[in-house]
C-alpha cells in the first residue's frame, strides 16, 4: 500500500471492526423490555449504534423519563456483558489492520463505546497496541459532533485533509463531514448501504475484503 490519499485511518469499532451489531440491538431491546418500555424494532434499535450510550438510549426509549436513563443504561450493560466475551472481530479485520500498520499508516478508533468498554474489547481482541490513538463517547462529544476526529488529528499531528473515517453508520459519515475528513462507509454493520451512500462517502464496502481491496488501490 502506498499512502496516496491518507496518512491517518480512523475506524469505528462496533459494526465496523467488531461483529457486534446484532448483540447491541438485542441488548437495547432487552433493556427496554426490562423496564416495561415499548421495545424498538430491529432497525430502530440498530440506528442508534455508534452514538454515546445516553444519546442512544434517549432515541431508543423516547417515552422514558430522563431520571430513569441510569436504570435503562444499567440494564443495557447487564444484557450486553452477558455475551460480550463471545463477540468476535469480522473475518479479515485483524489482517487488514496489520497490513495497514505494516504499510506505515497511523491507525485510530473513534467509537460510541465507553473507555472501559473499548479497553475491554481491545484487550479481548489482542489489539491494545494496534492503534496510535482512540476516542470514546464518554471522553468527548458523541458522534456526529466532529470532536473525536479533531482531537485525534491534533494528538497525532495529522492533517484533516489526509485523514479518513471508516464506519458502518450515518453517524460516522456525518462526523467525517462535520470534521472535514474523508469518509468511507461499510454496509455490513448497522446502517443500510443506501443511507450511507446518501452522505457521499468516498466508497461503501460490502465486506472487509472489499474495504481492504479499495484501500490497497486508493488509500
Domain edges within the chain: 8-20+88-218, 21-85
Q: Is 20 left (phi over 0), alpha (psi -120 to 50) or beta?
A: alpha
Q: Could you report the per-residue pLDDT of 126-173, keeping only the tens digit for each?
A: 999 999 999 999 999 999 999 999 999 999 999 999 999 999 999 999
> What does the pLDDT read at residue 55?
85
Mean per-residue pLDDT for 192-200?
Answer: 97
> What does the pLDDT read at residue 92?
98
> Which of 76, 157, 81, 146 shows the shortest CA–CA distance to 110?
146
Span of 58-62, 168-172, 215-219 with lowest mean pLDDT: 58-62
Specify whether 14 is catalytic. yes
CATH fold, domain 21-85, is DNA polymerase; domain 1 (1.10.150)
> Which of 166, 178, 177 shows the shortest CA–CA distance to 218?
166
Percent residues over pLDDT 90 in the chain: 84
Which CATH code of 3.40.50.620, 3.40.30.10, 3.40.50.1000, 1.10.3720.10 fits the domain covering 8-20+88-218? 3.40.50.1000
3 pLDDT band (50/70/90 cuts)? low
Mean per-residue pLDDT for 112-131?
Answer: 95
Q: Are 193 and 186 in contact (CB under 8 A)?
A: no
Mean per-residue pLDDT for 113-122?
Answer: 94
pLDDT at 2 > cutoff 60 = no
pLDDT at 47 > cutoff 60 = yes
The residue annotated as part of the active site, out of 7, 12, 132, 172, is 12
Better-scored residue on pLDDT, 50 or 198: 198
Alpha-carbon dihedral sign for residues 189, 165, 121, 59? negative
> What does the pLDDT read at residue 216?
94
Q: Are 189 and 15 in contact (CB under 8 A)?
A: yes
The residue annotated as part of the active site, out of 14, 19, 132, 168, is 14
> What does the pLDDT read at residue 16?
98
> What does the pLDDT read at residue 83?
85
Mean per-residue pLDDT for 101-106?
Answer: 96
> What does the pLDDT read at residue 119?
96
Specify whether 12 is catalytic. yes
pLDDT at 201 > cutoff 70 = yes
- Which pTM value belongs to this model? 0.93
> What does the pLDDT read at residue 107?
98
pLDDT at 175 > cutoff 90 = yes
Amino acid at each position: 500500500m502506498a499512502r496516496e490519499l491518507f496518512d491517518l485511518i480512523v475506524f469505528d469499532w462496533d459494526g465496523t471492526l467488531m461483529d457486534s451489531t446484532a448483540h447491541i440491538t438485542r441488548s437495547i431491546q432487552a433493556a427496554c423490555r426490562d423496564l416495561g418500555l415499548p421495545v424498538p424494532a430491529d432497525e430502530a434499535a440498530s440506528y442508534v449504534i455508534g452514538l454515546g450510550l445516553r444519546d442512544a438510549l434517549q432515541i431508543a426509549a423516547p417515552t422514558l423519563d430522563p431520571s430513569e436513563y441510569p436504570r435503562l443504561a444499567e440494564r443495557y450493560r447487564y444484557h450486553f456483558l452477558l455475551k460480550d466475551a463471545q463477540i468476535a472481530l469480522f473475518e479479515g479485520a485483524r489482517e487488514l489492520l496489520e497490513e495497514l500498520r505494516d504499510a506505515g499508516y497511523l491507525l485510530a478508533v473513534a467509537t460510541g463505546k465507553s473507555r472501559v468498554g473499548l479497553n475491554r474489547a481491545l484487550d479481548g481482541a489482542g489489539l491494545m497496541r494496534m492503534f496510535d490513538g482512540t476516542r470514546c463517547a464518554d471522553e468527548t462529544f458523541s458522534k456526529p459532533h466532529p470532536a473525536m476526529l479533531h482531537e485525534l488529528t491534533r494528538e497525532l499531528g495529522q492533517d484533516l485533509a489526509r485523514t479518513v473515517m471508516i464506519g458502518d453508520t450515518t453517524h460516522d459519515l456525518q462526523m467525517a463531514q462535520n470534521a472535514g475528513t474523508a469518509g468511507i462507509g461499510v454496509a455490513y454493520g448497522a446502517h443500510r448501504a443506501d443511507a450511507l451512500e446518501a452522505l457521499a462517502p468516498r466508497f461503501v464496502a460490502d465486506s472487509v475484503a472489499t474495504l481492504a481491496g479499495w484501500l490497497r488501490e486508493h488509500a
